[in-house]
Amino acid sequence: MADKRAQQRSKYTLDRGIPGAFEGETITRRRFMTGTAHGAGAVAAAAFTLPALGFAIGPVFKSTPHRWEVVGTVDEFPDNNYVPVVLTLVPDIGEAGKTTAYVRKFNPALDTDPYDKGTPYIAISDRCVHLGCPVRWVDASERFVCPCHGGVYDILGERVSGPPVRPLDRFYSRVTGEDVELGPRFSVNSKLRRFSPRLPGEPLDGIGQYLYPSTPGAKKL
């Protein structure tokens, strides 16, 4: 019995009675090739996975500075209609880095939501939250209309009909002297509660606010 235990504890494959073993061998060729194949597979998987993972989570650790841009003076924007302005989202890349916002002065008769208290101007993004097409403000009907897939929003940017999953995004606003300035974009749910920017097609009501995390690098003011 003692000899059998000693044989089982031997590091040599021949002593352990493994088929195809050679004298002096400590690992079988099959086991060696299996381990090599598994190792090669792990290296190949890492070569695909690690760059994608780094691309996905890397921006989370990158701070995005807040930019405020003057879009007009305090007397240029009424409280019952929107004025389109052009914003620079990404500098130094020309027209590709610009977007349009529709701006009006805060109106207590319209803007009754508590999240809008203290907001001097309402600035709504022209990007449809269905697939990102540009919407247009139609003064006669007091609606934002998307020409791509029929999305319609009311004067507050809330969805009226069509496929959009949440209200239009907005921009923070402030007044400096006589200048109206717009800052970072933020998203809102159906109750106009503010969230860090989300992508088109990402709902923010119910479980949606947890399924779709904030845009990497974005900060909430």
Under a CB-based contact definition with an 8 Å cutoff, are residues 221 and 65 in contact? no
What is the model's pTM?
Answer: 0.68
- Specify the fold of 69-211: Rieske Iron-sulfur Protein (2.102.10)
Closest CA to 126 of 171, 94, 92: 171
221 residues of the chain, pLDDT tens digit each: 545 554 445 655 555 655 555 555 555 555 666 667 777 777 777 676 766 665 555 554 454 556 899 999 999 999 999 999 999 888 878 787 889 999 999 999 999 988 888 899 999 999 999 999 999 999 999 999 999 999 999 999 999 999 999 999 999 999 999 999 999 999 999 999 999 999 999 999 888 778 776 655 444 44
Domain boundaries, the chain: 2-61, 69-211
Q: Which residues of 2-20 are buried (b: 16+ CB within 10 A; e: fewer)?
A: eeeeeeeeeeebeeeeeee
